[in-house]
Structure 1
Amino acid sequence: MKLRIVSARTGLDWVTLGIRTFWRQPMALAALFFMTMAIMSLATLIPLIGPAVALVLLPTSTLVMMVAAAQASQGRFPTPALLLVAFRTGQQRLRDMMVLGGLYAACFLGVMGLSALLDGGQFASVYLGGAKMTQEIAEDPAFQRAMWLSMTLYLPLSLLFWHAPGLVHWHGVPPVKALFFSIVACVRNFGAFLVYGLGWMGVFLLGGLVVATVATLLALAGLANTAAGGIMVGAAMMLAAMFFTSVVFTFRDCFDAPGSDAADAAQPPAPAA
């Protein structure tokens, strides 16, 4: 396995490839994304440990979308069976994915714990869904400090885990090494990831503008607010599914293609020249 260094412009290619690939199989990819989110939401209902279990499942959910996008880019139809992709590559890689999930949960909860030192856990309660956001809470300086601290710490955390599911699944890299290689790849390709992030920010802003315009027109036409709300939620889910569809292209261009023994479920697309 070798790290590849790409130009900053490649970040824009990742955005366009994600959008284009999504529209090859929009129903299948949107359905898979919705099912992964539904599974994580159901996991949060487990008493006491629910939120932690949902966090453990996040790297596997990311892997599901990566494999699904790889298949769609190759002209194949991603099926719901991909929800079990982590179970189909051997016990060792399944254990590694679970370890990776455990590490993510521990790190994320650690970030929430540090934020709690600033506001007594108010931000963590709101973020994890245990408390309702109010204007009074949002304007609390302690809450704002905790929020900014969490956002600052979450950036390196996301870089650590960005490529890690793909490295474990396709290259068989142990979890801790996968975290190291992931953040190194992101830092070495900082320009491409900066353009990638800005590109998706633009897509989400444009999408939000379009949805807001449609919602306003529906309101002026006297249609029910529930219809506008449904459109907004559906559009947000679709944009999020497009974003996760693009992740596999960041992975394939940052690392050499794996050998034939890497994974049975699907090879990532061939790296760009």
Structure 2
Amino acid sequence: MQAAILPITAGWNWILDGFRLFKRQPMAMFFWSLLTGFLITVSYLVPLFGQIALIISTPLLTFVTLSACRHIAAGRPMLLSMWAEPLRDRQTRRRLLGLGLAYMGFCLAAGFIATLPFMDTLMTAIDADGEINPNALFSAMQGPLITFGLLYVLISALFWHAPALIGWHGIKMSQALFFSMVACWRNKWAFLAYGTSWAAIFFAVQMIGTFIAGLGVSPSFVQIMLTPVNIIVAAVLYCSFYPAYISVFGANYPSPEVPPATSGR
């Protein structure tokens, strides 16, 4: 599958296009961002199993997001009954779950690879009585965290386009991972600009909160003020996934026609 090669400015254009998609149906994407945030919060309330379930379900949630954006781009209103439509096909659901299991496997492997070389350093943070020295542990964790971060960049490239390639084109998982990696490599500068821009946006939101708190506003009120802003920013982030996929693969391999919207009655 041929992937387009885009200039570095494409990274910022994906964000702008995502914002335009959000403006078409802001309440629908606000709802999805709120629901996704709720699911993430619930996953952390269930130790270990919650995080595992979240990781496995990430490709399914991504595919639902992309499908919703495709409806919005086609000018169709997102009805409540339409959110589950992308996962009604059993074969698609099974393949995306398989992709989620592979995603979890890659993350676990990356965690193991990132931690193993630093085991001796990590063990020094525990004294003879089994007590953990927080400062020593924080210092010892820097190496594994940096290593995992670098490995996760590679994992993200493997899985970035895979849900759409599997869900819309029925491509085998191994091919989807390969095509996704090649597409991300060909557009590495665009993705660098994309990631850097989003980091700057999230940092700016937090700095605004810090500035408001510095004016004497209570932290709890600042948090209340920033909550809808964070939800909107996350919604625009989700919307930007669609133009990122379409601009790379859509020109040569357009997605199947969007099915007509159902009334939900």
- State the TM-score bracket (shorter-chain normalisation): 0.7 to 0.9
Q: Judging changes above 3 Å, is the alpha-carbon distance between structure 1 residues 31 and 47 closer, same or farther for their aligned structure 2 residues?
A: same
Q: In 1, distance between residues paired with 2:202 and 2:78?
A: 25
SS of alignment partner, residue 23 of structure 1 = helix
Q: Aligned pair 1:227/2:226, yes or no?
A: no
Q: What is aligned with 1:177?
A: 175
What is residue 152 of structure 1 aligned with on the other side? 150
Q: What do residues 151-187 of structure 1 show as CA deviations (whole Å, max 9, x unaligned)?
A: 1111000111110111111111112211111010010
Partner residue in 1 for 2:237: 243
> Hey, what does 1:11 align to over in structure 2?
11
- Residue 238 of structure 1 and its aligned partner are, at CA, apart by 2.4
Q: Which residue is equivalent to 2:72?
A: 72
Change in 2 beyond 3 A, CA 1:81/1:157: farther
1:101-158 Cα shifts (integer Å, max 9, x gaps): 11111111222233343358x8xxxxxxxxxxx9935863221111111111110001
Residues 96 and 163 in structure 2, CA contact (< 8 A), matched pair in contact too: yes
Q: Which residue of 1 aligns with 2:108?
A: 109
- Once the two structures are overlaid, the 10-residue window that deviates more, 25-34 or 233-242, is 233-242
Distance verdict in 2 for CA 1:91–1:75, change over 3 Å = same
After superposition, the C-alpha distances for 1:74-105 in whole angstroms (9 at most, x for unaligned) are 333334445424422x2221111110111111
2:67/2:86 contact within 8 Å kept: no
* Aligned residues of 1:138 and 1:144 also touching (Cα < 8 A): no
Q: Distance in 1 between matches of 2:93 and 2:102?
A: 14
Which residue in 1 is equivalent to 2:97?
98
Structure 1 stretch displaced more, 41-50 or 59-68? 41-50
Q: What's the RMSD between the two structures over aligned residues?
A: 2.9
In 2, the alpha carbon distance for the partners of 1:208 and 1:47 equals 27
Matches within 5 A, 1:16-35: 16-35=16-35
Cα distance in 2 for partners of 1:249, 1:241 equals 14
Aligned partners of 1:14 and 1:83: how far apart in 2?
23
* Worse overlay, 229-238 or 26-35: 229-238
Distance (Å, rounded) in 1 between the aligned partners of 2:82 and 2:144 = 37
Query: What is the Cα deviation at residue 259 of structure 1?
Result: 5.5
Q: Give CA-to-partner distance per residue, 1:200-256, whole Å, 9 cap, x none.
A: 233223333333333444x3xxx5432112223433332222112101111001113
Q: CA, structure 1 residues 83+105, in 2 after alignment: closer, same or farther (shift >3 Å)? A: farther
For 1:254 and 1:238, locate their aligned partners in 2 and report how far apart those are by CA, in whole Å. Answer: 25
Q: Contact 1:33 / 1:65 at 8 angstroms: preserved in 2?
A: no
For the Cα contact (< 8 Å) 1:112–1:150, is it kept in 2? yes
Hey, what does 2:254 align to over in structure 1? 258
What does 1:185-224 align with in structure 2 at a 5 Å threshold? 185-217=183-215, 219=216, 223-224=217-218
SS at match of 1:140: helix
Question: Residues of 1 paired with 2:133 and 2:34: CA distance?
Answer: 30
Distance 1:116 1:165, change over 3 A: same
Structure 1 pair 86/68, CA: closer, same or farther in 2 (3 Å)? Answer: closer
Retained in 2: the 8 A contact 1:211–1:235? no
CA contact (8 A) 2:168 2:256 kept: no
CA contact (8 A) 2:60 2:93 kept: no
Residue of structure 1 in register with 2:37 after alignment: 37
How many Å separate the matches in 2 of 1:30 and 1:50? Answer: 23
Residues of 1 paired with 2:259 and 2:2: CA distance?
A: 21
What secondary structure is seen at the aligned counterpart in 1 of 2:6?
Answer: coil
Which of the pair has more CA radius of gyration?
A: 2
Identity %: 29
What's the TM-score once normalised by structure 2's chain length? 0.81
Conserved 8 A contact 1:137-1:143: no
**C-alpha distance in 1 between matches for 2:86 and 2:214:** 43
Stretches of structure 2 lacking an aligned partner (at least 5 in a row)? 123-131
